[in-house]
Amino acid sequence: MAHERTPRPGNMKKYQLIGKRNAIRRISVNSNYPSIHFYSLPYEILVEIVSLLFNDLDNLLNLAQTCRKFEHLVYKEFLYKDVVIRDHHTFQSFGQFHLPSHTKSFSRKTGRIEPSRHINYIKTLHLVKPPTRETSYGKTQIAGSYDLEMSRSTDDQVVYDTYMGNLNSLLNECFSINTIIISEISPQFSFPKESNNFITHLFRAKAKRTLRKLVLKAQSGWNIPFKINHMSTLASIFDRIDELVLHNFVIDTHRLISPSIANKISINKITLQSCIYSSNSRIASYTLPRNVDNDIFKDVSSLALMNIYSGTDLSVIDFVKKNNKLRNLGIDLTSPVFYKLCKGGTEKLFDFHRYNPFFNLICSGQGSYDNIKTLEILNFNLADLVPWPASTNAASFDKHHNEELNSLLTAWSKVENVVIILKPRSKKLVSCVKCGFTKDVTHTKQHDKVDVNCWFSVLQPLFQNDSNVRIIDHRGELMLKKTRSI
């Protein structure tokens, strides 16, 4: 009769370690410190102290190796908090060490079957000049006249697929990201039309995820049309975006309506920075169809327009408000569109004659504008609207009232809530060429030196209607508040 041989306890450990010789072992460091020690300070104070080493990477890494608490602090608050991916080589290296590998041999060597725990320290992800999907054959024109045929290497396609695969994996594994910035977007860039996540979501329910802020910046010197494919991969992962910020894009309504994406995404606020609104004849006659599922602006309740150059660009308000959900409207009052040049182009004045009717319309509360309940005037500077008096008392301000300014303020007062955010004053420094001493000679006529009585005096037409008014400086501090009567 054959008897089974039971291995000895000592041999069992040997058998269990077979095949694990090359596995990475993570050794946790735990040190004991006296009660009166740098280690015992509150976490917030430790962050402020360690921030002095922010530009010294070697010392930060040395501090992280001392104990588990400092490792957590350095990794969370400094090394991984804001991750910038500048090229595909950087992203590939990042993915190899932090993202789960689909190659079994690599996983056995590195132990990277699960994602690194460090990726959940990431709060902001910044992608610089993401690669484009290249075809093996293409055509272009030189100076609009000469046709040029060219062939491209398939290596570009491999780079694109690897980059998008790493991005997809990172966003699926990292649940701490609240801000994504994609800058230097080329005109040819777009995400894959359909994401692999869509097939997975058909068979597996996923938890709803919200991205706090998405910033898209076009390549320097370009104004490129904004397309749904600029965010299709993000739409397959996130269900909601609190704020979408677009820099130097062309808002073409036809491009936003006609294509479709498999996964719908809801956007709460849109900020347009130096954007252009397309207004050709076909788009000008555009009417919102009954089925607006493909319109990514369908849930927008807040719109902010910054650095506006053309009056046509203001028409984007009409496009967004067709969703009947637009409640908050923000307008940058320092935008070039609102000013006209005088005295040979050396002085600019607010064009009341042209834009008072515009503000009267959007603040009227009538027709399709009745849903707008909050008006935010951004970068407000009273000196840009009227000549600034030499004295900052109430009597001197009374002399500088004019009918055009009163008409503008009266139009604003028709909105239920008015928020005026003051423009930060530009600093003017003078340095001595001999000793290098620098002196701040910024103009002393600034908003924070004007008392409350002066504000009530110069903005009196704004308070004549029963509306809530708040005046906030550029630091976010409340300077004046007037609430409506109940």
Q: Is the pLDDT at 282 greater than 60, yes or no?
A: no
pLDDT value, residue 307: 95
Spell 229-262 as b/e; 16+ CB within 10 A means b: bbbbbbbbbbbebbbbbbbbbbbbbebbbeeebe
Distance CA 178, CA 246 (A): 17
pLDDT, tens digit (0-9, with 9 covering 90-100), for 96-136? 889 886 544 444 455 556 788 899 999 999 999 999 886 55
Q: Residue 356: its pLDDT value, please?
A: 93
Question: How confident is residue 287, by pLDDT bands cut at 50, 70 and 90?
Answer: very low
Contacts of 454-460 with C-beta under 8 Å, sequence gap 24+, read: 454/392, 454/393, 454/394, 454/397, 455/479, 455/480, 456/394, 456/480, 457/394, 457/397, 457/398, 458/382, 458/386, 458/397, 458/400, 458/401, 459/409, 460/409
Could you give the residue ranges of the DSSP H alpha helices within 9-119?
9-16, 43-50, 57-64, 68-74, 88-98, 104-110
| Highest mean pLDDT (candidates 157-161, 198-202, 296-300, 333-337) | 333-337
Question: Tell me, what's the pLDDT at 102?
Answer: 53
- Mean pLDDT for 305-332 is 93
Confidence of residue 442 (pLDDT cuts 50, 70, 90): low
Lowest mean pLDDT among 120-134, 138-152, 188-202: 138-152
Mean pLDDT of the chain: 78
Do residues 263 and 288 lie in contact, with contact meaning Cβ atoms separated by under 8 Å?
Answer: no
* Phi/psi of residue 460, nearest 5 degrees: -55, -40
Q: What is the DSSP string of 280-307?
A: -HHHHT----S--TT-TTTT--EEEEES
* Token digits of residue 3: 């008897």
Crossing angle of the two packed helices 352-362 and 403-412, in degrees rounded to 10: 20
For the cut 50, the answer to whether the pLDDT of residue 20 exceeds it is no
pLDDT of 173 strictly over 60: yes
Query: What is the tens place of the pLDDT at every residue in 222-236?
Result: 899 998 889 888 988
pLDDT at 339 over 70: yes
Res 280: pLDDT: 57
**Amino acid 335: pLDDT:** 94
- Report the candidate in 345, 411, 406, 401 with the shortest Cα–Cα distance to residue 375: 411
- Between the ranges 239-253, 254-268, 291-305, where is the mean pLDDT highest? 239-253
Residue 242 identity (one-letter amino acid): D
